[in-house]
Amino acid sequence: MVGIDVGIANFLTTSDGRHYGTFNGKLRERHKRDREKRRRKAKLRKCLEKKGVPKEKLPSTSSATGQRLIRHVRQEINRAVNLCFVEHEGCRFAYEQLSVASMRHKARAMNAYMRASNLGHVPHQIAWNATKRGVAATKVKSAYSSQECSVCHFVDRKNRPNQQTFCCRVCGHTAHADINASRNLASRLNDKELRACQNRQEVKALLMRRHEQWKQKCRFLVVEPPVQLGLWARSETSTDVG
């Protein structure tokens, strides 16, 4: 059973710690150049519109280089998925339900970067490869998979101090963020309780209940620093005889 996490830095990351394909490097540099070219064309188009130039004579904001980049990105995704299936022959796959259309960032550059990476093509290619090879590949709910600790199930956005690092604020488990997420996806393949959840709130409530069960099982007590400081201050004042 192998979990697959989809991302930009690595198109695919499996639960056994392998990475396949990336949008960074040459593809990202080509995207930057194409985006700057489109912005210059759009600026020129606005200036010509103000001067009264007819629309049929205005320069187009589309570019042949942008279309070639899209084809090359899809080719890289296809190679990454094919290699992943070859190296995991006979395995069952669990991959995330990815909705790229609903993903939005505050920065326009990040939105353009995400669209250029063509992440929406990855799940389709996984499903197509699974059907072609006769392999079981199942979509699982991905809510909080990148924020959940694969050891203690604690969910917090602060568990990821940066894009590539996962460090649980409770148990201290440290791993590559994509590998941790892929392990969570693999564990959700046969999880009937999580499958029955209707929304993200129910998923988070279930994960936090499991975290509390993990703490009771391990007899783990978390004491916040402010509480410790308060107890220390009271003990100091009670022992002060002067």
In 3D space, the residue among 93, 64, 71 whose CA is nearest the CA of residue 27 turns out to be: 71
Q: Express each pLDDT in 167-192 by its tens digit.
A: 999 888 999 999 999 999 999 988 88
Q: Express each pLDDT in 17-46 by its tens digit.
A: 999 988 887 887 877 887 788 788 888 888
CA distance 120 to 138: 16
Rg (CA), the chain: 24
In 3D space, the residue among 170, 128, 130 whose CA is nearest the CA of residue 149 turns out to be: 170
Q: Express each pLDDT in 72-110 by its tens digit.
A: 888 888 999 999 999 998 889 998 877 665 666 566 666
List beta partners, residue 143: none
